Structure 1
Amino acid sequence: MTAPDHHAGWGQGPCVVVDPYSSGALFAEALARHGIPAVAVLTGPRPPEAYASSFRPQDFPDTVVYEGDLEAVVAQLAGRAPRAVVAGCESGVELAERLAPLLVPGRCNVPHLAEARRDKSRMAEAVAAAGLPVIPQICTADAREVQEWLEKERLQGADLVLKPPKSASTDGVIKLPGGADWRVVFERQLGRVNQFGEVDDRLIVQKFVTGTEYVVDTFSHDGRHSLVDVCAYRKVDNGPHMAVYDTMRWLPPDDAAVAGLTEYVFGVLDAVGMRVGAAHVEVMGTAEGPVLIELGARPHGGGQPRFNRNATGDSQIDRTVRWLAGDEPPRGYALRAHQMCVFHMARRAGTVRSTAPLEAIRTLPSHHFSVLNVSDGDRVSLTKDLVDSLNFGFVILSHPEEEQLLEDYATVRALEERLVIEEEPSTRSPS
């Protein structure tokens, strides 16, 4: 397939947004505000279930559906002379990476490293090849290879993590304390259909590392990287499930961790060939230094850019669009307020009988935004991952004083304890 020559048309045509779901839905308003047309390319006739509620088709009247024929989509878009191709969310990354070199060859990421921007195994290989530290891991469909790797790395009896190479939002991520029953879990998860409808035909097994988990959100253009925000996650175990989101806290740019994280993350972006667009990079800050958890070649999801505007006055969406409009992006960011996201958590599965206690959240001094997606009579499952958390709801706390933020966080958790979730009686027959 020959790449069309659109160099002369840059700056005039639309921005192509592949799967404008989750935070990608925010591109429509931002582009319109700058007078830039938008075209939505959808990777299927319907959004993945995890993203269905975020899609606003009325915001994208010009839409192309990819049905497996890349040349047909390129042909439909070529006449529009697009100025950029961006991924709206994780499900759109692979198609965006295939379209960009064909439609805007001067404004694309390094084509031969496209897999390293989506597949977590290839990602780690590229970062390690660049001389940066990574978490020891193996990606395979063969349990025997895992066994050999565990023996070679002397990880028998060590805590492990098992996860799919191409999902997101902690979907399918399982902690194996002491490596117990890893083979049973590996064989059970192999072939599972993940939240994007893809079959997990390989699995990653990696050493469990501890430390503080950070997310570093960036924007790149012409191979130059800029820092949009840095947040610290706090995750907790919820029953048998590891890494359930508790909070995400925005860090000031002069926080002691930021400089080292920035240097490492910019190196990761170079290693995976990131030259244009937003990236969402999750890093574990260990005692030995930062190591990559994973990278998403797209904006931070869950609508985070809206809240980042409140914390910093900027976002990955805004920075992308301003660059397309001809502005030079800043290199860093400033924090305007102390801010934290508190993720609601169901401590048990059952039927919700009273959400009334949570109504008091809106009266908290630092309350900025909150959403509760469950009502009395709804059934909820034990929160196990970020998708569950977002399906339940979350609270954004923002205030000039950090002490008020921490006080209100404690109040949110105390109010959750008063939430009535009626556990269903056991259906097991008496022995």
Structure 2
Amino acid sequence: MTTTDPAGTGPVAIVDPYSSGALFAAEFAAYDVPVVAVVSSPRPPDAFASSYRPQDFPRILVHDGDLDALVAELAALAPRAVVAGCESGVELAEQLAPRVTPHRSNVAELAAARRDKAAMAAAVAAAGLPVIPQICTADAGEVAHWLDSNALHGADLVIKPPKSASTDGVIKLPGGENWAEVFGRQLGRVNQFGQIDDRLLVQKFVTGTEYVVDTFSVDGRHTLVDVCAYHKVDNGPHMAVYDTMTWLPPDHPAVSRLTEYVFPVLDAVGLRFGSAHVEVMDTGDGPLLIELGARPHGGGQPRFNRNATGDSQIDRTVRWLTGRDVPDSYRLDLHQSCVFHIARATGTVRGMSGLDKITELPSHHFSVRHPVDGDHVEVTRSLVDSLDFGFAILAHRDEQQVRRDTATIRAWEEDLIVTP
């Protein structure tokens, strides 16, 4: 993709520069591009607090509820772009960009479809693309009627918030058992962003291979940054706990099929500029959207994507905003997987030192483990729990070496003891 408009000389505004959004500052600094932080609340959500580096930003604008004042303050800086750093900043970024940098913004009328999963699915369905059968409501009676109308009584279901992320609050119900009880319990819950889940999504549970497709777009033209396959497992009653994430080569048979579905999805939700993180279930009947985020892949993934492909969503954003071209697709230099550690129970953990040997594995690239012997750990329920416990990035030119080392890590984990 060739640049067609001037990059500009103002700062880049990063809305909620947490998680992978924290990586923007250093990359822009390498090209002498100033940055400004815009935070959606005075304090970051607890799940992202450890990733926030306020020292990287000479100026920090705080949204205190007065959007007009914030627009005026930001516009005075003549920013070259407004980008969301992580999911908590998406809604504010979508409000600011059309008013401050309209030439680099998404379709304003479809802003809800880039954050609210119900509006998202509705927009995708309106574009004629298949979606997972679902209903979003605060009324259990409406759910019961929907189940009747779609002959889903007794089917596996998923209940989740329409505006959370990282599998926070996602519950699988085999056979739909006790759905009304779970629905009532989850309604009104405070999610990881400090927001009240005043509605809930109830979905038909679909099976297949789950993928994530990461993209970067300019003027509605989408480029492919990477495609990864997720493997998730049930951890007791907790569904969709992350097991591994494996990078796919661009010539993998699934990549073209996913791209043909995902790019029209991006059009349907009005995404025209910036990064997107799109999760898709590839079923026997074809790809179905799980959800998308109008922001970079979180958890620091761009750092590891650079190791596997030589590129990332952060790199493409910086290149485009410094007047350089970005590629349309990607290459895979190394076979790479992320192996997420899993706590099988809640309690006091022992045996963590046994995992120190991970650094000696032939494919070891990076690893982190936060608990030490004697620490209290929570049973792994969500991606946030996984990142709190730790993970390992394995990368090697030999794909089989990565697989062998993954199996070794799981064998070592069996020596962990969690005492209630």
Q: What TM-score, normalized by structure 2, do the two folds share?
A: 0.98
Counterpart residue type for residue 299 of structure 2? G
| Equivalent position of 1:132 in the other structure | 129
Which letter maps to 1:234?
H
How far apart in 2 are the matches of 1:44 and 1:377? Answer: 35
- 1:313 and 2:304 correspond: no
Alignment of 1:150-161 (within 5 A): 150-161=147-158
> Does the aligned pair in 2 maintain the 1:238–1:244 contact within 8 Å?
yes
Tell me how far apart the structure 1 counterparts of residues 350 and 301 of structure 2 sit (CA, whole Å). Answer: 30
**CA offsets, 1:169-190, max 9 Å, x none?**
0000000000000000000000
The question of whether the paired residues in 2 share the 8 Å contact of 1:213 and 1:282 is answered with yes
Task: Give the counterpart of 1:362 among 359, 362, 374.
Answer: 359
Report matched runs for 1:330-345 at 5 Å: 330-345=327-342
Q: Say if 2:113 is the partner of 1:143.
A: no
Instruction: List alignment gaps of at least 5 residues for structure 2.
Output: none
2:214 paired residue number: 217
| 3-state SS of paired residue (2:102) | coil
1:16 to 13, 19, 38: 13
Equivalence for 2:298 = 301
More displaced stretch, 123-132 vs 69-78: 69-78
1:395 alignment partner AA: A
Code of the aligned partner of 2:390: G
Quote the residue 1:268 is aligned against. Answer: 265
Question: Are residues 1:352 and 2:349 paired?
Answer: yes
Percent identity of paired positions between Structure 1 and Structure 2: 70
Q: Deviations over 1:242-270 (max 9, x none)?
A: 10000000000000100010010000000
| Map of 1:428 onto structure 2 | none
| Cross-structure match for 1:384 | 381
Contact 1:356-1:419 at 8 Å conserved across structures: no
Q: Provide runs of 4+ in structure 1 moved above 6 Å.
A: none
- 8 Å Cα contact 2:7/2:322 also seen in 1: no
Correspondences of 1:115-130 after superposition (within 5 Å)? 115-130=112-127
Equivalent runs, 1:140-289 vs 2, <5 Å: 140-289=137-286
- Confirm or deny: 8 A CA contact 2:222 2:263 kept in the other structure: yes
Unaligned runs of 5+ in 1: 1-7, 425-431
Does the CA-based 8 Å contact 1:9-1:82 persist in structure 2? Answer: no
- Tell me, yes or no, if structure 1 residue 105 matches structure 2 residue 94: no
Distance 1:34 1:223 in 2: 25
CA positional deviation for 1:76: 1.2
1:155, 1:81 → 2: CA distance? Answer: 53
For 2:369 and 2:191, how far apart are their aligned partners in 1? 25
The answer to whether the 8 Å contact 1:9/1:81 transfers is no
Indicate conservation of the 8 Å contact 1:10/1:82, yes or no: no
How many pairs were matched up? 416
**Equivalent of 2:413 in 412, 416, 420:** 416
Task: For residue 353 of structure 1, report the CA deviation from its aligned partner.
Answer: 2.5
Whole-angstrom CA distance in 1 between matches of 2:141 and 2:275:
38
- The residue type paired with residue 198 of structure 2 is D
CA drift at 1:9: 9.2
- How many Å separate the matches in 1 of 2:49 and 2:371? 17
Give the superposed CA RMSD.
Answer: 1.0
- The aligned residue for residue 28 of structure 1 is 25
- In structure 2, the CA distance between the partners of 1:102 and 1:10, relative to structure 1 (3 Å rule), is farther
1:9–1:83 contact (8 Å) kept in structure 2: no
TM value normalised by structure 1: 0.96
Q: Distance in 2 between matches of 1:290 and 1:328?
A: 30
